[in-house]
């Protein structure tokens, strides 16, 4: 009986994990479609038939590997492990569309025409994806060393900043914007995973939350009551069909000769480095929760899956996702990852991603992502020594800056999509500088490369707390060097977006500021040496 109960519990956990990870990945696909059609000029049919199947194939490869790895390590250690969550990298998704593919299309469409320009923009995106995958592969060789020398608080606090700013705040605000649909699922998730409530028939809490939210949404729509969301708009099965992945090797080879690829290296290289750092942070997060995974093969698989994506038409790198502690607390094991990969392979090849989105509202599933963000933030404080809490709090700040600017940028993008002749982004920035946000330059500076600055600031904080001032000075010096190289704090304001790009020396005032911090830490080390020792 105990074996049956354990199997049932494991199945519930894997189903919960599957629903949560599925929603997370589905959101990436839903974002991709309007971005590719609106900013890159690609026909919707092309996105559904070429890009989505390639992206789904990369998800299948990566998810199956992480499921296998968790199962194998679990058998070796004698304890069940939760597979690392895996999917399309959100940061690279936006960066490649806004700063690589979109600008290429805008530059070429007046001379080549929209059809040819969009094709070239896609090809350039494929090469950017290949280069990102190569950087992830190479990053595997130094991954374990970076984890060894970087304090855990520095790695986890960075994830917590992302969780609060870019996950929790977005979906909490959306929940209260649609409270009739979203708040009941939120309560279901909380009582399931915080209150440990069991549902009838052993139903997984995540499934119950989505079922309730979807039922309420359709009830509001059918009754014609306010407070609902668009559902079933247009033909329900629009886009359905058989769309297997198609190799894009010829397009890749021809695109390598394009000057538009090499002129965008200042965007592509930092994005690849950010992917490496983000994966390291997520591996550390898993280990802090008791699941140890080797860094090198995980980063290598990120690179391999990204190369598979590019080889079969997707321009978007894959990566280990934030959220392992949340899936683990749900009781997910290795099967939820395999289920996620198989699901997206099925819905992408059959063209059912669009119909699925017209049936299940995002608002019905947001509660799961809020839960994941809460657990990640909690872990940053509980899985590190309590005296490191101030350093963790310091590491949260760059992520919050990134969220603050995202609100401004999304507002500007919304105006452009709606055809509103609103002010350009440089005019918006200047307006903020003169009115409500005179320090908007600081917001943009902190937001640029925030994964790096968050890690570095938190590391400095850890060693200051421990009175290891020479190490704090070393981390401040590293921050100065990375800033001079243009890997962080460097940005350019274009008409449509703030472009983060690697321009050496552009942020020299920040580099000098970090050097000043290093000097202060060195003086503190000398002062500490001269203090009388306590007996």
Place of tokens 């917001």: 443
Alpha helices in 194-241 (DSSP H): 205-223
Cβ atoms of 275 and 318 closer than 8 Å: no
For the residues 28-38, what does the mean pLDDT come to? 82
User: What pLDDT, on a 0 to 100 scale, did the predictor assign at position 54?
Assistant: 95
Q: At what angle do helices 114-149 and 295-311 cross, to 10 degrees?
A: 180
266: confidence class by pLDDT, cuts 50, 70, 90: confident
- Bridge partners (DSSP) listed for residue 320: 86
Which is more confident, 154 or 7? Answer: 154
d(CA 506, CA 481): 12
Model pLDDT, residue 272: 84
> Which residue in the block uniquely carries the two structure tokens 């449509």?
496
Per-residue pLDDT at 227 exceeds 80: no
Lowest mean pLDDT of 5-19, 159-173, 392-406, name the range.
Answer: 5-19
DSSP characters over 382-448: HSS-GGGHHHHHHHHHHHHHHHHHHHHHHHHHHHHHTT--PPPHHHHHHHHHHTT-TTHHHHHHHHT
**Residue 424: pLDDT above 80?**
no
pLDDT tens-digit readout, 448-463: 888 889 999 999 999 9
Helix axes 440-447, 450-465, angle to 10 degrees: 90
Residue 417 pLDDT class (50, 70, 90 cuts): very low
Mean of pLDDT values over 309-328: 90
Lowest mean pLDDT among 87-101, 196-210, 413-427: 413-427
Which helix H or strand E contains 115, and what residues bound it?
helix 114-149
Q: Is the predicted pLDDT of residue 31 greater than 80, yes or no?
A: no
Measure the CA–CA gap between 376 and 159, rounded to whole angstroms: 7
Residue 179, Cβ neighbours under 10 Å: how many? 12
Query: Which pTM value belongs to this model?
Result: 0.79
pLDDT value at residue 496: 63
Tell me if 208 sits within 8 A of 368, measured CB to CB.
no
Per the listing, tokens 């995002």 go with 362
3: buried, middle or exposed (CB in 10 Å: 19+, 13-18, 0-12)?
exposed
pLDDT digits (tens, 9 = 90+) for 188-217: 989 988 888 888 877 778 888 889 998 998
| H or E element at residue 326 | helix 324-330
* pLDDT score recorded for residue 274: 80
Model confidence at 421: pLDDT above 60: no
**Domain limits, the chain:** 11-383, 385-524
Q: What's the pLDDT band for 68 if we cut at 50, 70, 90?
A: very high
**pLDDT value at residue 287:** 93
pLDDT at 231: 66
Q: When comparing pLDDT for 68 and 238, which is higher?
A: 68
Residue 414: the pLDDT is: 55
Distance of CA 164 to the CA centre of its chain: 13
Q: What is the DSSP string of 279-292?
A: HHHHHHHHHHTT--
* CA nearest to 243, candidates 53, 32, 57: 53
Look-up of token digits 């394009």: 258
Instruction: Classify 264 as helix, strand or coil.
Output: coil
- The one-character DSSP state at 232 is S
C-alpha torsion 429→430→434→437, nearest 10: 10
**Residue 185 structure tokens:** 């699922």
Mean pLDDT (the chain) is 86
pLDDT at 81: 94
Check whether 39 has a pLDDT greater than 80: yes
Nearest to 13 by CA among 327, 272, 442, 427: 327
Alpha helices in 41-101 (DSSP H): 44-46, 52-77, 90-96
Residues sharing a CB contact under 8 Å with residue 305, sequence separation 6 or more, in sequence order: 58, 59, 61, 62, 65, 86, 133, 318
pLDDT in tens, 156-195: 888 888 888 877 887 888 889 889 999 999 999 899 888 8
Residues 53-79, mean pLDDT to the nearest whole number:
95
Residue among 147, 120, 170, 172 nearest 402 (CA): 170
pLDDT at position 221, please? Answer: 86
């Amino acid at each position: 009986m105990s074996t049956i109960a354990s199997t049932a519990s494991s199945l519930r956990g894997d189903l919960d994990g599957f629903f949560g990870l599925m929603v997370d990945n589905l959101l990436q696909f839903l974002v991709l479609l309007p971005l590719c059609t609106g900013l890159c000029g690609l026909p919707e049919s092309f996105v559904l038939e070429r890009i989505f199947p390639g992206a789904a194939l990369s998800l299948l490869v990566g998810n199956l590997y992480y499921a296998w790895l968790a199962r194998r390590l679990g058998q070796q250690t004698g304890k069940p492990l939760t597979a690392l969550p895996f999917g399309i990298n959100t940061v690279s998704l936006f960066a490649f569309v806004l700063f690589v593919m979109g600008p290429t299309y805008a530059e070429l469409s007046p001379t080549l025409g929209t059809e040819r320009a969009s094709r070239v923009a896609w090809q350039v995106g494929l090469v950017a994806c290949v280069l990102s995958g190569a950087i992830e592969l190479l990053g595997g060789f130094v991954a374990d060393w970076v984890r060894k020398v970087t304090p855990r608080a520095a790695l986890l606090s960075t994830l917590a900043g992302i969780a609060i700013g870019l996950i929790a705040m977005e979906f909490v605000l959306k929940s209260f914007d649609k409270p009739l649909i979203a708040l009941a699922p939120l309560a279901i998730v909380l009582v399931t995973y915080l209150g440990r409530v069991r549902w009838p028939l052993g139903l997984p809490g995540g499934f119950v939350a989505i079922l309730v939210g979807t039922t309420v949404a359709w009830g509001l729509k059918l009754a014609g009551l306010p407070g609902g969301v668009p559902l079933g708009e247009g033909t329900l099965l629009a886009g359905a069909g058989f769309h297997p992945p198609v190799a894009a090797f010829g397009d890749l080879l021809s695109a390598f000769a394009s000057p538009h690829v090499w002129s965008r290296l200042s965007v592509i290289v930092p994005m690849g480095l950010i992917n490496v750092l983000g994966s390291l942070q997520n591996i550390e997060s898993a280990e802090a929760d008791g699941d140890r995974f080797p860094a090198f093969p995980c980063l290598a698989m990120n690179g391999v899956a990204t190369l598979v994506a590019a080889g079969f038409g997707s321009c978007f790198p894959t990566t280990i996702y934030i959220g392992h502690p949340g899936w683990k607390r749900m009781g997910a094991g290795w099967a939820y990852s395999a289920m996620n990969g198989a699901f997206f392979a099925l819905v992408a090849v059959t063209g059912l991603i669009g119909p699925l989105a017209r049936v299940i509202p995002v608002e019905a599933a947001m509660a799961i992502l809020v839960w994941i963000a809460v657990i990640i933030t909690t872990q940053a404080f509980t899985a590190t020594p309590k005296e490191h809490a101030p350093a963790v709090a310091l590491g949260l700040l760059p992520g919050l800056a990134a969220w603050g600017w995202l609100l401004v940028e999304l507002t500007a993008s919304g105006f452009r999509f709606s055809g509103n002749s609103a002010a350009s982004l440089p005019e918006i920035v200047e307006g903020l500088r003169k009115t409500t946000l005179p320090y908007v330059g600081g917001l943009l500076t902190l937001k640029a490369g925030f994964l790096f600055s968050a890690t570095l600031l938190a590391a400095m904080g850890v060693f200051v707390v421990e009175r290891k001032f020479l190490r704090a000075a070393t981390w401040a010096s590293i921050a100065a060097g990375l800033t001079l190289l243009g890997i962080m704090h460097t940005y350019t304001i274009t008409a449509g977006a703030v472009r983060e790009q690697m321009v050496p020396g552009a942020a020299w005032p920040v580099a000098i500021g970090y050097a000043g911090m290093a000097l202060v830490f060195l003086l503190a080390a000398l002062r500490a040496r001269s203090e009388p020792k306590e007996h």
